Every structure is written in C-alpha cells, then in structure tokens.
Amino acid sequence: MTIEELIGKNVIEESIKRIIEKDKTLNSVLRIEKIEGNKNGKYFGIPFLVKDNILVKGTKTTNASKILENYISPYTATAVEKLLQAGFSLVGKTNMDEFAMGNTNENSYFGPVRNPYDINRVSGGSSGGSAAAVSAGYVPFALGTDTGGSVRQPAAFCGVVGFKPSYGMISRYGVTSFASSLDQIGVLANSVKDVALVVETMKGKDDKDSTTLNHTTDLTDNLEIDLSKIKICIPKIVYDTELDASIRNSFYEAVNFLKQRGAKIEIIDIPELEYVVAVYYIIAPSEASSNLAKFDGVRYGLRSPSVGLSEMYRTTREIGLGIEVKRRIIMGTFNLSSDYYDKYYSKALKVRNVISRKLYDILNEYNAIMTPTSPSIPPRLGEKLSPLEYYLMDIFTIPANLAGLPAISIPFGFTKGLPFGIQLTGRQMKDEELLKISYTIHESTEKELPKNV
C-alpha cells in the first residue's frame, strides 16, 4: 500500500509481525527497533526501516560490521528525526554491506541479503536490506545511503524505486561517513510519489551539516508532466559497454516505450564517462581511509585486548573489519601517501571536476540522462567475480555522485524473470523535475507493461 492509503491507519504491529514471520529467509532486517513517531503527526502509524549506518538514539548502529556489533547510537540523524516528527514510526534497522562498501550485500558481518524474486541471487548493495524489505512488503518505504549507486542498484535488482537526491538536499548528520563528498541519504519505495513525499519531509538546511542547501519547491506538487516536452539523452557508452544481453534488450524496449509516448531521445557521446569508475575508486577509498581511521579500538566499538597501543590498533582492525573494507582502506591509504597523492588523488579530483562540468553542460540542453541502472542482472549468491568486475557494476550510477546530481532507478518490467530498472539522472537541485519525469514514466509502465509471473 502507498503512504497516502495508509494515512489514518496504524499498521506498526502488523509490519513488525510480517518482518518476524517472513524475514528469516531474506535476512534483510537486522533488528526490530520500535520507535513510535509523533502521535499528532499526519503520518502516525505508518512504519519505515532505516539502513544500519544511520543513527537512531538508543538503538544499535552496527554498519553490518563486527567492530561496531554492540555500538549504541548516542543521538538521532536529522533525516530520521524529521520523519519521526511527522509521525512515521521506525520498526527496525536493515542489513547492508559493511560500512556501505559493496554492491551485492554479501559483505555483511551478519550474512548476505537474499533477493525476494530469487533467493539464490543477491539483493544488490550496499542498501540491499532496505531494497529487499520494501520489495517484500514489510514497509512502504525505507532509508538507504548512496555513495556510488548504493540505493539505485539494489532498487533495480529488487524491483522498487530508488532515489538519490541532489547532494545537499538531505542532511547527512547522523550518517556514518564512508566518502563524505559522495554520500547521500536516499529513499526506497514502491512508487515515485511515496519517494517524493518522504524526501519532501526530510529535506532542508541543517545547521549540523554545512553541506545542506535550501530547496523551496514542493517535491510532491503536480507530479504529472507531458513527456512530449521532455528531452532525454543516452550516453554512447551505454551501447559500447559489455552489457548482459537481456539488459541490452530490455533497455532497447524502454527507449522505444518512451519514444512512443512522445519523449525526445538522442544518443550523445560523453567520452569523460570512461573515467568515472577509475576516479570514483580513487576518491571514495581515500575518503574512507580517513573517515574509518577512528575505528581503531580506542573510542568506538570492539577493542582487542592486545598489549601495546600499536598492537591494539592492528589486531582490533584485523579481527573487526571485513575483507572489502580492509581492501578499500589500503587502497585509500596508498592513494593519500606522500609519494602518490599528486599522482592519483589530486589528479582524480581534477578529472572529477571535468566530468561534473561536462554533465552540467549536457543537462542545460537535456532534461535527463538515461541509462540502465546496472549493466548486469543480479549475480548468484557466492558467484566468484573479481573485485574489478564488481566495481564495474557501478559504471552507470557513479556519475551522479561525482557531480552531486539527483538520480533515480525506476522498475521497467522484467528480464529473465528478474526485475529490470532504468536510471534517470537530472539537473542539480532540480529534483522536482526529475521526480515528475520519473513519476509519469513509472505510472505508464505500471499500467501498460506485463507483470512478472
């Protein structure tokens, strides 16, 4: 059910019961954490879930890591505080890739999240728990975080809507930092309308986060738009990339579907996009190595009983952190070392600026950039792929984070019996325009595309 349909109904206990009864298979919810919202709020009685790297006072925030297995949040994230004030009620914390590093949700200390459409496949990551929980019908929406596609990619894999707003739209206060210049809270829901409502509730300037910006346009106002007045571009790299054949065919169908409804679609060359994965995997691990330095056994979480400070640091991080987190910390530390800072990190920042400026220029001419959300279908659990193969799964989602642009994944039917999602990237701080385009497309697909059997 949508949020509007649930107004005036208290379904908190029903939601908790559903999670307890059904989630043993999916492993999408780590813990039930019941916190009722403002009883006088418009949305009282409507439940939601929060990814376990977002703080809620008095609850555990583990980041799906052994090192924070028993860490209790001392305060509540601004975004969650706003939802509670509006009446929404928290019912639990969702599973994720450890410290949000991963795109299959297999990098969790508490075990992988399974895809509701095929429990032998991954849910996507790093917000895979939130995506799977919404897809399974536990709650009408859940919060995730998106650093390089961590809301949109699992949304595509699980057949739900996943939205990453413009950088600065929603406060990051209370979010465990992975890569601060890229991180954003995002929303996963079954409809674009619900996404718009939730983001409208959370958005706004926050004195506790200096990167936040004011946005005065109501995101929920008049979501219908005439597609014949919309210009969409498709980067040529989509056709040059080695896509799964079923993904390629489904994307062709999506393009034709939109053309038939009047949208103007053009293919353009954006050669700068060839560098997005390389740039991201220099900048993100570098910021992560700095942000995660505080998890050393001194103040937060797990502490090894080793003798001596250096030995305590080493053994705490050795036993407390998973392999992917260690890999990215090492990558980032290398990039920031005195010998390689200028060669890698400094150069990556310059290329990031070039990519961002190019995307801004393109979006002065087009309303949105369209790609598949992911170049592949959800891998099977335990499928042996190299780190590089995993990293390339983010090739279409990373650009929006590098440039701080809003981006959304919306379901577009099925391929090989699994959900397929298309991604639209919009103009900076013009989230309302992107949501209108996405709403109109999603409503059309809901009415006209065949359902999966």
Active site residues: 51, 126, 150
Structure tokens at 370: 């369209």
